[in-house]
Amino acid sequence: MGEGQQEPLSLEFDARVRLEFVGSKITSDVGLLADRELDEKLGLTEMAGQFLTEQRSGRNVQHHLVPLVRQSVYSRLAGYPDTNDADRLARDPTMRLVVSRRASDRQAAARNTVGRFETEILSAQSNREGLAALNAAWVSAAMAHTKTQRLILYGSVCYHPLFCFNQFGDCEGAMVREGNVSSADGWRELLDPIVRRYAESGLRKQFRGDAGFARPEIYEYLEEHDFL
């Protein structure tokens, strides 16, 4: 597959990017520039326009589909798991540059725009199918530059880990569970050893958990073991 294109990729960084110590232009995600150059060479995010669609039209559309795809992808690559930091990232010099040449001169999309894009546009049935096809196209583009005579396909098990931390960030316990269980599944097996460890400490105990832990049996357990 793609044997005629199997050659090393030469990355050429944007000549407009310079190292300067200017407080207003500081970025903590400069590593995304290398990702963007590789993306550009393989044409990965540019393919999104072939597989994804949107209903927005007209002159009022400020952020188009492909740049929004890039903003979502590169935000995750930089370690931001949701859109909570989108407003700050919209002003970040690196994010503006990797999203599009046009956005490099102004802000990228704000949190509300990115949120609507991910929850409304990408969640449409046609786009869910388009994302699967886009993934296959990305793999094909990468494989076209991979020198190999063998292909190994394998399955991977997805796990849904459960952690318990104290207020100092120390991991008191951890449990690996199957990927299709609820947030609180196995809570007693994880919590019991920790509670027993502190039983004679005299410390006042409090418990915090997400909405998945709002269960009567958990409340009863916490009351039984004198949690506040």
User: C-alpha angle 155/77/42, rounded to 5°?
Assistant: 80
Query: In the chain, where are the structural domains located?
Result: 3-143, 162-224
CA atoms within 13 A on the CB side of 79: 4
Q: Which residue has the higher pLDDT, 130 or 107?
A: 130
pLDDT per residue as tens digits for the range 145-158: 888 788 787 777 78
Write the DSSP assignment of 197-224 as a string of letters: HTTTS---B-----GGG--HHHHHHHHH
Q: How far apart are the first and last CA of the chain?
A: 62
Task: Give yes or no for a contact between 110 and 90, defined as CB atoms under 8 angstroms apart.
Answer: yes
Q: Which residue has the higher pLDDT, 12 or 69?
A: 69
pLDDT per residue as tens digits for the range 80-117: 988 999 999 998 888 988 998 655 667 888 999 999 99
Segment holding 165, helix H or strand E: strand 162-165
What is the pTM assigned to this prediction?
A: 0.62
Task: With a cut of 70, say whether residue 192 has pLDDT above it.
Answer: yes
* Average pLDDT of the segment spanning 32-55: 91
